[in-house]
Amino acid sequence: MEFKHVSIMLDEVIENLDIKSDGVYVDGTLGGAGHAWHVCKRLGENGRFIGIDQDAAAIAAGTQRLAEFGDRVTIVRSNYCHMKDVLHDLGIEKVDGILLDLGVSSYQFDNAGRGFSYREDAPLDMRMDQRQELTARDIVNNYSESDLYRIIRDFGEDKFAKNIARHICMARQKKTIETTFELTEIIKAAIPMKVRATGGHPAKKTFQALRIELNHELEVLQNSLNDMIDLLNEDGRICIITFHSLEDRIVKTIFRKNENPCECPPSFPVCMCGKKSKGKVITRKPIIPDAVEMEENPRSKSAKLRVFMRRTQE
Ligand SMILES: C[S@@+](CC[C@H](N)C(=O)[O-])C[C@H]1O[C@@H](n2cnc3c(N)ncnc32)[C@H](O)[C@@H]1O
């Protein structure tokens, strides 16, 4: 299967990374190297690019796409939460720009066998890193009803979470739930007919919740951002594209905290906690795709880009 993926907000990302031709840039979610190719194109002889992805298919596609840039490019199969160690092993301690374009690629989503899509019948897999043992099948069949409820409520923000969790547990008593279509049918039965007719696809939120839980998507993001900001050189930038409010909230909060980490009560005339700002949030409001992009690529509709610039306080 060909690796097809349209890069989201390509111009906006490139502009906001403010690429220096001799700089060092990292893409922690390389995918098919759509954004990455345009970064590499702007690098000169002394520039360097490191692409990280946990998915073997993305690594293969990205390696091929960036081959023309020779040894300016290094590609590593890893989780971006290990970025600091990956760079350290390559002898790199600081970088000029970092990009994260979160979530799954269209390739992963459209590849029925990966089990990410409720529109294709496939084994319940949903692993971004296929070296991992746990799959969505394990979560659906082994998590307690209260844990299923919690993840569908918190990571899917589905108001029928309780009912969906109950229906999953009832169904699996009769038979192990093996496929995306089996799960979709169970979810449909848990949602009132009226909502089914008018809302989006009834399984969308539960599938999102399972994917986030299985791949630890929010934890990884939450635990990596401060390290990434610390990796930036002076004036270096980090650009992050998120696809749902849970991710966006994490990015917004951590960027703000790095801009203004002071914990002193407002009544203190001067700062006593000594926590210094690490830089500036460039995007007071997130950048979103323009109308043309949303029209041409419906998957871009929920995308938000936030940018932070490193600036050490004297
Ligand atoms: C939306 S795609 C990136 C597409 C890419 N920007 C492009 O233009 O081709 C997201 C990619 O990030 C990878 N990914 C998601 N979370 C990751 C993580 N925590 N560590 C490493 N890779 C991750 C996925 O495997 C997927 O290939």
| pLDDT of 25 | 98
Percent over 90 (pLDDT), the chain: 88
Q: Which residue has the tokens 């009832």?
A: 170
HSE-CB for 22 with a 13 A CA cutoff: 1
Q: Which amino acid is at 93?
A: E
pLDDT tens digit sequence for 167-192: 999 999 999 999 999 999 999 999 98
pLDDT tens digit sequence for 32-46: 999 999 999 999 999
Instruction: Indicate if the alpha-carbon torsion angle 91, 96, 102, 105 is positive or negative.
Output: negative
Binning pLDDT at 50, 70 and 90, where does residue 3 land?
low
The stretch 276-304 carries a mean pLDDT of: 95
Q: How far is the CA of 54 from the centre of ligand 1 (A)?
A: 8
What residue's CA is closest to ligand 1, atom 13? 29
Three-state SS annotation for 232-259: EEEEEEEEEEECCHHHHHHHHHHHHHHH
| pLDDT of 314 | 62
Locate the ligand 1 atom nearest the alpha carbon of residue 99 and give its number: 6
Q: Which amino acid is at 252?
A: K
What residue's CA is closest to ligand 1, atom 18? 79
Average pLDDT, the chain: 95
pLDDT tens digit sequence for 124-153: 999 999 999 999 999 999 999 999 999 999
Q: Which of 88, 48, 81 is nearest to 66 (CA)?
A: 48
Give helix 145-156 / helix 204-214 axis angle, nearest 10°: 100
* 80/30 Cα distance (integer angstroms): 10
Percent over 70 (pLDDT), the chain: 98
Q: In terms of residues, how long is the chain?
A: 314
Res 296 pLDDT > 80: yes
Q: Which of 134, 131, 147, 137 is nearest to 115 (CA)?
A: 137
pTM of the model: 0.95
* 158/164 Cα distance (integer angstroms): 9
Pocket test for ligand 1, best of 10, 29, 82, 247 (most atoms within 8 A of CB): 29
Res 86 pLDDT > 90: yes
Ligand 1 lined by 9 (C-beta under 6 Å):
no
CB 230 within 8 Å of CB 308: no
Q: Where is average pLDDT lowest: 1-5, 287-291, 302-306?
A: 1-5
What residue's CA is closest to ligand 1, atom 8? 34
Q: Tokens in use for 189?
A: 């039965």
Alpha helices in the chain (DSSP H): 10-17, 34-41, 56-65, 83-89, 106-110, 136-142, 145-156, 161-174, 180-190, 193-198, 204-214, 217-231, 245-259, 291-296
What residue's CA is closest to ligand 1, atom 27? 31
HSE-CB for 114 with a 13 A CA cutoff: 21
What residue's CA is closest to ligand 1, atom 24? 104
Neighbours of 192 (CB within 10 A): 11
Q: What are the φ/ψ torsions at residue 248 (nearest 5 degrees)?
A: -60, -40
Q: How far is the CA of 52 from the centre of ligand 1 (A)?
A: 8
Q: Tokens in use for 50?
A: 């490191």
Binning pLDDT at 50, 70 and 90, where does residue 312 land?
confident
